Chain A
Amino acid sequence: MPLSDQTLTRAEELIARYPQPRSALLPILFLLQAEDGYVSPAGVAQAAQLLGLTKAEVGAVATFYTMFRRRPVGKYLVSVCKTLPCQLRGSREIAAAVAERLEVPLGGTDASGMVTVEEVECLAACDGAPVVQVNTENYERLTTEEALALLEALLRDEVPPPTFAADGSVTEPSTAGLHWRLAGLGDPPAALAGTAAASASTADDEGPGFQGGAPVDQGSGEGR
């Protein structure tokens, strides 16, 4: 379902923030993702209408960026860094163990819709290798056992404190809330603390892709 009337007002606030309306496209895609759990075909159409673009233009942008999803994402997004400094400290084993526990391929969401696991490129925290993020908050220098314990907590809908909690780092309680914040609208409304995604999914690249005139990418599996 696309944006409610209430959220539409916030989208217009985003558009007014920029000298040219189209600059609000990435923020609006995050906002759509906050409400739908992914960038849905209906969301693409709505963004196009809001900004006076074609659906193809919006789809071309949405497919370029890895953070825009083509299938509903879990309540918790577990991102494991796969770049060299993290691999030297065991990140690949962590990613594999998490995926195995969830019984999904990397990029997939567990059957309860609670957790999505993915491997990502360098997260700019290489001194904390291996770096795992939950909803973009860092959990650093984890062993595989600690990462699995973190995962079990998330599956119970509990969020352990991130590495720098004592310094003020806070993990966003849901991907919906995270995407709202990434849109640039500050603290998310309480309702977006949210529930798990409606259904389980396989890896993102097996998703239906955007429909309604937007191009589907070439199946690199990386959301580009």
Chain B
Amino acid sequence: MTEQVKVLTSRWGDNRAHEIDRFTKLDGYASLDAAFAKGPEDLVQLIKDSGLRGRGGAGFPTGMKWGFLAKGTGKPTYLVVNADESEPGTFKDMELLERDPHALVEGVIVSSYAIGCRTAFIYLRGECGWPGRRLQAAIDAAYDRRLLGRDIKGSGFDLDLVLHRGAGAYICGEETALLSSLEGQRGQPKLRPPFPAVEGLYRAPTTVNNVETIATVPWIMRKGVDWFRSMGSEKSPGPKLFSVSGDVSNPGNFEFPLGVPAREVIMGAAGGMLDGKALKAWTPGGSSTPMLTGDHLDTPMDFEGIQAAGSLLGTAAVMVLSEDVCVVRACLNFTEFYAHESCGKCTPCREGTDWMRKILGRLETGQGRPDDMDTLADICDSIFGRSFCALGDGATSPIVSALKFFRDEFNEHVSGGGCPFPGARVAVGAH
């Protein structure tokens, strides 16, 4: 049995933690003294040693990412926090900002100090009212207490922090698209290399890190590498937020050490299946990660464990589907999402997602053809690894995995002249 931990969620139960005085009483901003007592290089090394991996989906080692930042370019270095949370099923960063917004501000300050950033940005989804209000209030309060601005706590370190709102585009969660958007352009991804660490925002060295990643940094600076590594596994250390939604009794965010078995997250913390239904499929990390089934419930939820099971940890957004959910409809719903959110820059993703949407739609409404499953697999093959960014790859995940585990159900849609789930709970819907 793996116990839930209280690190990132430690202040969530306190309904005044968003106020700066309360936050400070709860050890908030305590990492600043610990950080300023060390040199920036030592802090980057500390994060490298901790093994912290990015919490935004890719799991890239954070300290290594910081280490790639180009030095001596004569240009400023920028930290940009990716708060554009919009991977279907993911709702951890928004709750963190609602419950404990100063945790991110604190993380931005110490991370900026470590990498030599003097102007940091938070790129926040436009559609999230309350988290945005909370975060802006936290930033304003930090300026009032001179925790932002000039000569923070007498350290000689200056930092400005700008909250910037997105305007409705999932693709802006992709780091180069995010930077394009922050520069006032269409939010389309750019070719890498050059990587943002060399030429990012305004063609200056830039690191883009997820909210949860940056909010984890102060804990490591204050409590050390050994403490951090006491949770999780060798390659995936530390605590992690898991967002559980769908057909469970108690959906919500739960904090576990990485490596917790999926069963304990879904059947334990999230209360098990809604109305005692049987589990059919679940995503380990949002719609862009291949679905798994009830056979995979003992998989450890860390980067290696989920990969070994044939999927990806992604954002650790666990969407749970019960036996009465039509998997074709579920794929159609996700594919509508990708067709809508494809930025249009590259052909495989722009055209492919729309073709898949049409084919899934006709399967669902009884117009399916016997070769549609092969066509879907073929389109996925033409998108995966051939689109400009990971959005296209992600679009293939639900379909490829559904064909792998539930191909018979697709066939039934053809042989039976439509969806065998009369009361299926996902609407067929074109926009």
- A residues whose Cβ falls under 8 Å from a Cβ of B: 17-20, 22-27, 29-30, 51, 60-61, 64-68, 79, 82-85, 87-88, 90, 92-93, 106, 119-127, 129, 133, 135-138, 162, 164, 167-172, 178, 181-184, 186, 220-224
Contact = CB atoms under 8 A, between A and B. Distances in A.
B426 A168 contact: no
B164 interface: yes
A222 B430 CA distance: 12
Given A84-B246, A88-B246, A126 B94 contact: no
Contacts of B336: 82
B89 interface: yes
B337 A121 contact: yes
A22 B179 CA distance: 12
Given A85-B89, A182-B126, 14 more contacts: A20-B202, A27-B165, A65-B168, A66-B169, A84-B334, A119-B431, A124-B85, A124-B93, A127-B244, A127-B251, A164-B98, A167-B98, A171-B129, A178-B129
A108 to B, nearest CB: 13
B10 interface: no
Contacts of B427: 87, 92-93
B50 interface: no
Residue with the highest number of chain B CB atoms closer than 10 Å, among A19, A29, A60, A126: A126
B312 interface: no
B185 interface: yes
A26 B167 contact: yes
Given A64-B169, A129-B245, A26 B184 contact: yes
Interface residues of B, number: 69
29 contacts: A51-B184, A65-B168, A66-B167, A66-B169, A68-B167, A82-B336, A84-B330, A85-B245, A85-B251, A120-B127, A120-B168, A121-B337, A122-B88, A124-B91, A124-B94, A126-B89, A126-B90, A126-B251, A129-B251, A136-B129, A164-B98, A167-B98, A168-B134, A170-B133, A184-B163, A221-B431, A223-B168, A224-B340, A224-B343
Contacts of B128: 123-124, 136
Given A65-B168, A168-B18, A122 B89 contact: yes
A135 B341 contact: no
A10 B110 CA distance: 31
B119 interface: yes
A122 to B, nearest CB: 4
A84 B333 contact: yes
Given A88-B426, A127-B244, A137 B431 contact: no
A22 B129 contact: no
A125 B317 CA distance: 11
A30 B251 contact: no
A23 B163 contact: no
B130 A65 contact: no
A122 B431 contact: no
A119 to B, nearest CB: 8
Interface in B179-201: 181-188
B320 to A, nearest CB: 9
Contacts of A79: 127
B253 interface: yes
B170 interface: yes
A222 B129 contact: no
Contact of B247 (A88, A133, A135, A168): A88
Contact of B86 (A51, A121, A129, A221): A121
Nearest to A79: B127
A123 to B, nearest CB: 6
A188 to B, nearest CB: 12
Contact of B186 (A60, A82, A167): A60
B182 A23 contact: yes
A144 to B, nearest CB: 13
B344 A17 contact: no
A19 B76 contact: yes
B313 to A, nearest CB: 17
Contacts of B343: 64, 224
